[in-house]
Amino acid sequence: MNNHKSVLLVEDEPSIVAMYQLKFIASGFEFYATADIHEGFNLAKHHQPSVILLDIKLGDQSGMDLLKMLKAEDSTKAIPVLMFSNAYQKEYEKAAIELGAKEFVLKTKVLPDETIAIVNKYL
Comparing 89 with 5, the larger pLDDT belongs to 5
Q: Indicate the class that CATH gives domain 45-108.
A: alpha beta
Neighbours of 55 (CB within 10 A): 25
| Geometric angle at alpha carbon 62, from 101 and 122, rounded to 5° | 25
The C-alpha atoms of residue 123 and residue 26 are separated, in whole angstroms, by 17
Predicted pLDDT of residue 1? 41
The whole-number average pLDDT for the span 25-34 is: 98
The C-alpha atoms of residue 81 and residue 13 are separated, in whole angstroms, by 19
Predicted pLDDT of residue 3? 55
Backbone φ and ψ of 96, nearest 5°: -65, -45
* Residues whose CB falls within 8 Å of the CB of residue 45, separated by 6 or more in sequence, listed in order: 73, 75, 76
* Strand partners for 62: 57
pLDDT class of 59 with cuts at 50, 70, 90: confident
